[in-house]
Chain A
Amino acid sequence: MPQHTGDFGAYGARGVKGSEAVARQLDTLAGGIATPVTTRRGLLARLHYLTRTEHARAAAREAGLTVTDRTLKAWLAGGRSPSRPNLERIETAYRAVRRHNVARYLLGRLNREGRGTRVELHPLNQSQVPRPRQRFVEFRTLNVRHWDAIVRAWTEGDLQALDDAWTDQIVDLGSQWGQYEYVTNVGFAA
C-alpha cells in the first residue's frame, strides 16, 4: 500500500492524519497560555502578549486582530469586553503570533545541527476493524533531519503544505509508508 489512503475508516480503522498529529505535538512543544481565552485571566494574558511591543502589535494585526488601539485599550482596562467573534480572533492571533515567535527556536532544537530528531509513529487503531481485514502494522521510528518545511507550514497554518512536507518525510519508511499516513500518535521531543 505505498500510496495515500483513499477512503480512510471505511472498515472501521481509527486515527488521525500524521501531519495533524505533528501539528498537535508542535503546538504542545510550543507551549503557551493554558488558561482559556474566555476567562478574564486568559484574555488579559493574551492581550498583553499581543500588545507588549510595537512589533507584537503589528504581528497581531497581520494575524487578523484588526481592531483599533482604542478598543484594545478598553479591553485591557476592563471597560469593555470583546464579543465572541473577537475572542476567537484574539485566540487565533495569539496562536499565530506565538507559533511565529517560537518557530525559530523550535526549528533549531528539532534539526539539532543536522542530527535530526527521532520520531515515533504509533500505528492506527484497528480494534473496530473486522478480523479478516485487519493488517499487521507495527510501531516504527524514524529520524527526521529536515524540519524546515514542516515547521514553516505549521507556522503559517497551511495544512496542505504541512501534509505534503510530512509525507515527504515518511516516504523514507519504505514501501509501507502509506500505512502510516494515519496514526494514533506521533511522538517526538524538542
Chain B
Amino acid sequence: MTDFEAIDALLAGAREEAPLPPAGERRALREELNLSQAQVAQALGVGPSTVGGWEAGRDPSGEVRDKYAYFLEGARTKLAERATARPAGHEPPTAEDEEGGPQASPHDGDGDDGDDGEALHREQPCVLCGRPARHQVAGFPQHLDPGECGTAPTGESDARTGSESAGTVRVVPAGRRVRTADESPDPIREAVAAALAAHFGDVEAATAALVARAIPDAMALLDGTRRGGRYDIVAHPWIPDILRKQTARGPDRIWEARPKWARPELPTGRHQVTALDINGAYLSALKTHLPIGQLEHSSGFGHDRRRAGVHLITPPVWEHDAVLPNPLGNRDEPGPLWVTEPTLRLLLRLSGPKYALCDPPEIHESFTSGATENLLEKFRVALKEARERAIAEEDEVTVEYVKAMYSKFVSTMGESNYNRELYRPDWMHLIRSQAFANLWMKAYKAHEEGLVVVRAMGTDELHVLGEWRRVFPEGRGVSEVKVKDTYTVGCDTDPVAADEHGD
C-alpha cells in the first residue's frame, strides 16, 4: 500500500515546467529594467555566468527555473505598465526603483496591490528606518513616502561622505569587526542603575550594596577588558618566598617605599600650609610595568627595562632630606632591601644625568618577568571614564562605587580571602609603590616650581607652602588635586623676643 501512496504523492508533486520566453527576449527584458546580470543572479541565488548562460539559450530546471520564470514574468508586466503610464506624464523611475530596494523586486507585478503595498492594521517598525510604518510591501513593513522614511535615500550618501547627521551611528572596533558604540555594554552604569532600582532610589542603601559587591564586579570588569587582549592574566603563579607572608597577619619582605616625611625645619614666621590630596592615586597607579607571568630569579645582571618585578638593592645615600622626601620612604634599617619595580625605576631616574640627585642603586638579585604597562590599561580607562562621567553628572553613587572597585581591587589582589580569583601579591606591591612614586614626583615638581614641600605622607597627601594653584590644577579629575585642609604653622613673634622669653 505504501508504494502506491508514495507514487500518488510523486504524481501530485510533479508539475509541468514553467514556460520561459525565448533566449533573446530574456536579455532584452533584463536590460530594459537597467538590471545587471549580477543583480539578477544575486536575487535568484545563482552565479552571474549562469544567468548569462540562460540568456544565451540554456534552460534552467527545477526550483530555479520557477524563480527565473517569475522574474521574467514580473519584468514583462512592469515594462508593460511603464509603457502605458509614460504617455500620461509620469516621472521616470524613482530613486527607489534604481536602488534595487524591495520595490524594485519582481513582487511589484505579482498582482497583490500593485505599487502601493498593503495597509497594516497595526503600526510596525519600518525595515529601512525603524520608525513605525503603516504599510507593507511584499511582507516588509515600510514607509511608502521617502520623505517619511528616516534613512532611505539619504543614509547611503551620508555614510559615504562621513558627514554628521541624525542618520549616522558611532562605531567602535570590536576584535576584527566593528559594532555600534552604544551596543557595547557598560557594566558600571548597569550595576548602578540596578542597585538604585532595587533600593527604590535610596542612595545610601544602594551605595552600600554596590560597595559590598565591588570586588567581584571589579574582577568581572577586568575579565571583560582583557577579552581579545594579547596577554592572559596569570592569576595564580608560583610565588617566591619573599612575597609570602611570614605569618598569617604579618607582612612579607617587600619594601613599598611609602612616604612618611615631614620637613625638619621651616623658615621663621607664620605660614599658611595647604594639605593637597591627589585624586584617585591608586587608579592612576594601575598604569605601571606589571610582570605578566611567573617571576624568575636572576642575579647581578643590572636592570632590564623590558622586565619588571622585585629587586634586592642597596639603596643610595639620600642627601636632600631637608627639602625633599627620600624616594625610599622613611627606612630606619640600613642595608639591602627588597624594593619593587616603580621604586627602582624612580631611583634609577633620579640617579641619571637629568636629575643627578643620588648615586645609582646597586642591584643584587631580582625576581622578574616580562612586563607590560598595558595589562590593566583598559580596566583603568574604563574606571576613569566612569568616574569622570559620574563627577560631571554629580552621581555620587557611581563615584563611590568606582572608588571601592579600584581600591579594593588593589588591596585584595594579593593573598586575600576576599578575592581568591587573583593571587598576585607582586602586582599589589608594584601598584602601591607606583602610587608612592607618583606622589614623590609630585613633591619634586612642587619643589622645582618654587613651592616649599612641608610633608609627603600616605598615598596621596602633600602639604605645601606657597601659591600651589599655578603648579597643580584644582579639581576632582585624576590629573588634578583637591584641598584637604589648610592650617597655619609658626608664630608672628620675632625670634629675638622668643629667645628672651625662653631664657
Chain B proximity of A128: nearest CB distance (Å)? 13
Q: In the complex, are the beta carbons of A187 and B248 less than 8 A apart?
A: no
B60 interface hit (Cβ, 8 Å): no
Q: In the complex, are the beta carbons of B294 and A189 less than 8 A apart?
A: no
Residues of B within 8 A of A187 (CB): 234-237, 423
Q: In the complex, are the beta carbons of B420 and A122 less than 8 A apart?
A: no
- For chain A, residues 23 to 50, give those with C-beta under 8 angstroms from any C-beta of chain B: 29, 34
Partner of B232, one of A34, A141, A184, A185: A141
A136 interface hit (Cβ, 8 Å): no
Partner of A122, one of B237, B247, B248, B421: B237
Residues of A within 8 A of B420 (CB): 29, 189-190
Residues of B within 8 A of A141 (CB): 232
Residues of B within 8 A of A186 (CB): 236
A105 interface hit (Cβ, 8 Å): no
Residues of A within 8 A of B (CB): 29, 34, 120, 122, 139, 141, 184-190
CA distance A34 to B244 in the complex (A): 14
Contact A189-B238, Cβ < 8 Å, known A139-B293, A184-B294? no
The count of residues in chain B whose C-beta lies closer than 8 Å to any C-beta of chain A is 13
Cβ proximity bits B218-255 to A, threshold 8 Å, 1 near / 0 not = 00000000000000101111100000000110000000
Q: In the complex, are the beta carbons of B236 and A120 less than 8 A apart?
A: yes
Contact A189-B237, Cβ < 8 Å, known A34-B248, A122-B294? no
Residues of A within 8 A of B248 (CB): 34
Chain A proximity of B140: nearest CB distance (Å)? 41
Contact A185-B238, Cβ < 8 Å, known A122-B294, A190-B420? yes
Q: Which single residue of chain B is at the shortest CB-CB distance from A140? A: B232
Q: In the complex, are the beta carbons of A188 and B234 less than 8 A apart?
A: no
CA distance A146 to B421 in the complex (A): 19
Residues of B within 8 A of A (CB): 232, 234-238, 247-248, 293-294, 420-421, 423
By Cβ-Cβ distance, the 7 closest A-B pairs, closest first, are A187-B236, A189-B420, A185-B238, A120-B236, A184-B238, A34-B248, A189-B421
Q: Which single residue of chain A is at the shortest CB-CB distance from B292? A: A139
Chain A proximity of B413: nearest CB distance (Å)? 12
Chain A proximity of B387: nearest CB distance (Å)? 28
Q: Which single residue of chain B is at the shortest CB-CB distance from A31? A: B417
Q: In the complex, are the beta carbons of A189 and B236 less than 8 A apart?
A: yes
Q: In the complex, are the beta carbons of B232 and A122 less than 8 A apart?
A: no
Q: In the complex, are the beta carbons of A188 and B236 less than 8 A apart?
A: yes
| B235, B236, B248: residue with the most chain A Cβ atoms closer than 10 Å | B236
Residues of A within 8 A of B236 (CB): 120, 185-189
Chain A proximity of B293: nearest CB distance (Å)? 7
| B248, B293, B423: residue with the most chain A Cβ atoms closer than 10 Å | B423
Chain B proximity of A88: nearest CB distance (Å)? 23
Q: In the complex, are the beta carbons of A189 and B235 less than 8 A apart?
A: yes
Q: In the complex, are the beta carbons of B234 and A139 less than 8 A apart?
A: yes
Residues of A within 8 A of B234 (CB): 120, 122, 139, 187
CA distance A189 to B215 in the complex (A): 14
CA distance A141 to B236 in the complex (A): 11
21 A-B residue pairs with CB within 8 Å: A34-B247, A34-B248, A120-B235, A120-B236, A120-B237, A122-B234, A122-B294, A139-B232, A139-B234, A184-B238, A184-B294, A185-B238, A185-B294, A186-B236, A187-B235, A187-B236, A187-B423, A188-B236, A189-B235, A189-B236, A189-B421
CA distance A120 to B421 in the complex (A): 11
Q: Which single residue of chain B is at the shortest CB-CB distance from A184? A: B238
Q: Which single residue of chain A is at the shortest CB-CB distance from B249? A: A34
Having A120-B237, A189-B421, one finds 16 other A-B pairs with CB under 8 Å, namely A29-B420, A34-B247, A120-B234, A120-B235, A120-B236, A122-B234, A122-B237, A122-B294, A185-B236, A187-B234, A187-B235, A187-B237, A187-B423, A188-B236, A189-B420, A190-B420
CA distance A184 to B237 in the complex (A): 9
Chain B proximity of A57: nearest CB distance (Å)? 28
Chain B proximity of A8: nearest CB distance (Å)? 18
Q: Which single residue of chain B is at the shortest CB-CB distance from A120? A: B236
CA distance A23 to B471 in the complex (A): 57
CA distance A139 to B232 in the complex (A): 10
| A34, A120, A184: residue with the most chain B Cβ atoms closer than 10 Å | A120
CA distance A122 to B421 in the complex (A): 16
CA distance A187 to B234 in the complex (A): 9
CA distance A120 to B293 in the complex (A): 11
CA distance A188 to B235 in the complex (A): 8
CA distance A86 to B370 in the complex (A): 49
CA distance A188 to B422 in the complex (A): 9
Residues of A within 8 A of B238 (CB): 122, 184-185
Residues of B within 8 A of A190 (CB): 420
Chain B proximity of A140: nearest CB distance (Å)? 10
Q: Which single residue of chain B is at the shortest CB-CB distance from A190? A: B420
Chain A proximity of B499: nearest CB distance (Å)? 59
Partner of B423, one of A139, A184, A189: A189
Residues of B within 8 A of A189 (CB): 235-236, 420-421, 423
Chain A proximity of B329: nearest CB distance (Å)? 30
| B232, B248, B294: residue with the most chain A Cβ atoms closer than 10 Å | B294
